[in-house]
Each structure stands twice: as structure tokens, then as C-alpha cells.
Amino acid sequence: MAHSVGKYMKKNHKTMMLAFCAALWTGPAISQGAAPADVGHDTSPPPPPPVVAQAKPITANVTVSDAQLLAADTDQDNWLLHGRTYDNQRFSPLKQISPANVKKLVPVSIIQTGVANSFEVTPIVVNGVMYISTASDHVQAYDAASGEPLWSYTPTLSYSDLCCGPQSRGVAVAYGKVFVAQLDGVMVALDAKTGNVVWKSDRSGTLPPNATRYSFTAAPQVYNGMVVIGTGGAEYPIRGFVQAYDAQTGKLVWRFYTIAAPGEPGGDTWSGDSWKAGGGSMWNTPAFDPKSGLISFAVGNPNPDVYGEERKGDNAYTDSIVTVHAKDGTLAWWYQEVKHDVWDYDATSPVILLDAKDASGKIVPAAAEANKDGLLYIVNRQTGALIRASDPFVLESANKWTIPTADLGEPHYPSASGGANWSPPAYSPLTRKVYVKGTNLAWRLDAKPIDPKNPPLGQWIGGDMRAILDGKANNTIEPSGTLSAIDVDTGKIGWQYKSDFPMIGGVLATASNLVFAGELDGYFDAFNATNGTKLWHFNLGAGVNASPITYRVNGVQYVAVAAGGNSGSASLLAAMRGHTSVGDVVAIFAVAP
């Protein structure tokens, strides 16, 4: 799973809350208090917001082509892809904001989306237009310099079983459309200029039976006329998958199952029929290598989470970096980071494509993924062979690899909250370091068999998992976090920043040797990428657990980030310590003159 407490606070979103910024809603005012005796008083509920509301026409060219996406690394004005470029490096060549002037960074716009809930988005910027998604899949377009609202899309979601909260980690923009992968397992294409619905995928034709068990929370990837997304839902008895849609029609092009079946590579790593409900969510946006025609992603935990005796074996392709052929979804290779996972150490953060030295010192094409077990794994991206695992970037308990038993055992860390959770790291080719957020948070695990004749309704955990938010009272570590600079050629940690809160959310690196990252107490920080010195911070009032981006409009460099907390145990921790646990803000910063 990608988050924590949501697994035990089951959310049945049969009716999702629909809200949006008041600036985009011009419906009738709502009467308050008692009406005069001679005036009629309408007590009917207010009408819902419109599905699409447009505040101002978009005149910019927002039709993004495959050629533009392939050249995103040379485009200094825009942030066109979830990871800025297909390699997911989240590295910008912009230098206008530098260590010398970052202290002059000030907010030029504070956008209030009207949806106060888990906020984990990476915005997309196309020619001065910013596209975001909020919790419950509201999609909104804004002027990327002024924050002025342009249009909004308010969905009506079908029922879906959710593990871990109603978050949406972003949209994809291409071919004149904005693609959002919804919580109800539906892919939607919106007109990029107006927000009007172009098409919606058919659940019956694009999801397996028991469709309510499948949900989408990641930002989709787009390439070669296709839209790719992976399913959540591994806390339910599903066989997870990643699939591609035709970007023009919404029809299914290919599907790759993240659980190996008998007769497939890795199919012998499951006992009996356990593969049929083996789990395997994909919480992240894939990386695409156009030169090789391969797409790489990380796969989450097996099902059930804690009790593994009924799924004996390594359980491929869970807890793995998986690479498939982008054209048809057929398997190229996989590398399993954690075999037979019973600790919920699923691989949830995005795969990064980069070059690294192998054991002989030769630079080779590589792929990196930061796991919840607290290690950064670097593999050869042509073969999947392990090059190295990093030093741990979080604390490790002596019982880290102890198999859970039938009673809540001793505190255990890293835990299901991380190590690294879904948080996207950044990589700087200048420093040759991956910047990874980490979480120190202990849990207790309790493993119990599932009775196949009387299986549980809803989630199949295989026991119990409990986060320990008060370490002093439970004789274990206090929750905290790290931001680590990890050398890709050695696996060593060059520098590490320590936070009093778990560090969750994305990281941004720039060519001016700055690293931007947020904290759960509301601070948005800038660090020197070389030595880790904190150079600037600004408090946004709610947890900065989203992913910052940078771009230019009319020659001015901006940095933008969302602040709204998340759905995990960390948000409960923030509330316990007196901080706001959720919010609805997107802040846009620039250097003051």
C-alpha cells in the first residue's frame, strides 16, 4: 500500500464530496437565518456545482505533441510531464532562482482550490497554464503566473473500495487533452482549453470483474498516442495490472498483470491459486525510455499484506521494479527488491532513469527506485541486474526482517509508512545524487491466517498493522523524517537533513544547485544541493506533502507547490502536535525584485 492509516479506516466513497473554489462558482446565494414572515423562504439544498465551469478563456496553445514531450528536457518554460521528463528525474535546467537570491523568494499567488483534503499533486504547466488535480479528482486550470482561475472539472464518481484516501497525484496533458485517472477506475479525457469531457473509459470494458475493487490515484503517463496507468486496490483480493488506453478514444490497447500467473515468467513463485488474488498495486507514474521503447514502474505489496503462508514463494512481480515493452505491455525484465513481503515494504515511489557506475566503474544505463524498506535500489535498466543498494536512509530496527507472528510484536521500523513511501525523489546529473525523502515511524504487526471458507469482507490484511505515533509511550523511536542526498555511483549518503516530522512528498532539483522539498509542519524549504545547507523556508499552513515544480512565464522563473497534507498516519501525527492536518493551497513563488 502507498499510505498507512487509510488501510484501517476503510473509506466507502459511494458519494464523494463535491466542492470547488468560490471564484469559479456563480450559482445562487444560500439564504442564512430565518426569513421575514412576509417573504417566502426556500429551504431546498443548494444545487451542486456544474461539472465544468469556465472562468476565463484559454488563448495559449495548450496542445502538446509527442515531439514536445520527447524534447521536454530542453524546454525551459514548461513542466510537461509528471517527472518533468520521461526519465522522472525532476531536474530543471533553470538557474534564475539560485543560492544567491533564493532568500528573496516570495509568494506571488496563493491559490485556494476549495478542496481541503489530502493534496499530493504534481502540477503540469503548458505555455503559462497550470493544470492540477485535487482529492476526489477535481481538475482545475489556472494562470501559472498570476494564479487566476481558468476552468474547473467536478466529477461524479462511482462507488469504489479505497485503501488509502481520495488523493490524486496529478494529470497528464497531451494532444489537446487533460487526462485524469479517477478513484473509480475510470480514465477521463478533458479538453485542455475548456475542461469539457471528451471521453470517459468504460469500466465494463477496461476493468476486470469486481470493478469496485480497482482505483486509480497516480498521475497517468502519455506517449505515442497512449495513456498508461496502474491500479490500486492490493489490499483487496485482486490481481493488479498496468494498462494503456488509446488517447483519442479511451479504448484499451494493452494490459500487463503485475502478478505472475502459472506459465508466465515468475509464475512459479506463488503457491496454489494465491496468484489470483495476489495484489500488486502501482502507485506511481512510469518512466519511459524512448530509445529502447521500454516503460518502467514499481509494483506494490502482495495480498494479504502480513500473513504469507498461503502465498508461499517470492510472489513476483510484487515489491519490484518492472520493465515492459511500451508498445504492447509484454514483459522485458523485473528486479524484486523484497521477496515474499510480509512487512508491507511495497515499491511505491516512481522509477528514475539515469546513468550510474557499475561494479567495474563503467557508466551504464540504470534505473533507481527508493523503497519503503529504507534503501535506494539501482539496477541495470537493460537487464534488471542489481548494481547496488544504498546505505539505509532511515533508521532500522534489529527486528526489521523478523516474520510477523500471531500477536502484535515488538515495534518494527522502517514500517509500512516508509522508508520512502510514494514520494517522488529527484536526481541531479550535476551532483550525481538522488534526493530522497524518508520516514522514521515504528509499527506493530500481527499476522493471522485468512479462512478461505469465510474470507473477510473488504480488505484482506492477514492480521493487523498499527502505527505508533507516540514513541516515548511505546518504548520505540519518535516519528521523524529525513531528506537524503544519495550518491548513485557508491550508494553512500552525501548529506542528510533531519526533520521532526516524517518527510513525505516530492523533491525538485535545479541546475543552480538548489533542492526544494516540503515538510509536514507546513514549511517549504530550499537546500544547497551540494552540502544540504537550508537556505530558505516559507510556511504554508498545512503539510507540504506534494511535489514542487519550476517553470518560466514571460522570462520569469516560478516555483509552485501544493500544501494540504496527506491521508496517512503522518497527518494524524500533525494534528496530534497541533498542526493543520489538511489544506487546499497551491502556492506560486518568484524572486522579489
Beta partners for residue 53, in sequence order: 152
Which runs of E-coded beta strand occur in 212-351? 221-223, 226-230, 241-246, 252-257, 287-289, 294-299, 320-325, 331-336
Other C-beta atoms lying within 10 Å of the C-beta of residue 25? 18
Q: Which residue matches cell numbers 498461503?
A: 310
Q: Which residues contact 68 (CB under 8 A, 6 or more apart)?
A: 75, 80
CB 191 within 8 A of CB 249: no
Upper half-sphere CA count for residue 522 (Cβ side, 13 Å)? 16
Q: Hey, what's the cell of 528?
A: 544547497
Q: Which residue is catalytic, options 137, 289, 344, 487?
A: 344
Other C-beta atoms lying within 10 Å of the C-beta of residue 50? 15
Q: Which residues contact 420 (CB under 8 A, 6 or more apart)?
A: 348, 349, 370, 371, 372, 374, 376, 393, 436, 437, 438, 439
Residue 163 Cα to chain centre, angstroms: 14
Cβ burial of 65 (10 Å; 0-12, 13-18, 19+) is: exposed
H-run or E-run covering 206: helix 203-206
Residue 79 three-state SS? strand
CB 198 within 8 A of CB 190: yes
What's the rounded Cα separation, in Å, for the pair 457 and 22?
A: 40
The angle at the Cα of 31, spanning 28 to 37, to the nearest 5 degrees, equals 130
User: Tell me, what amino acid is at 494?
Assistant: G
Residue 256 Cα to chain centre, angstroms: 20
The angle at the Cα of 174, spanning 170 to 180, to the nearest 5 degrees, equals 35
Residue 188 three-state SS? strand
Residue 319 bears catalytic tag: no
What's the rounded Cα separation, in Å, for the pair 593 and 589?
A: 12
What's the rounded Cα separation, in Å, for the pair 63 and 585?
A: 27
What's the rounded Cα separation, in Å, for the pair 33 and 348?
A: 49
Residues with catalytic roles: 344
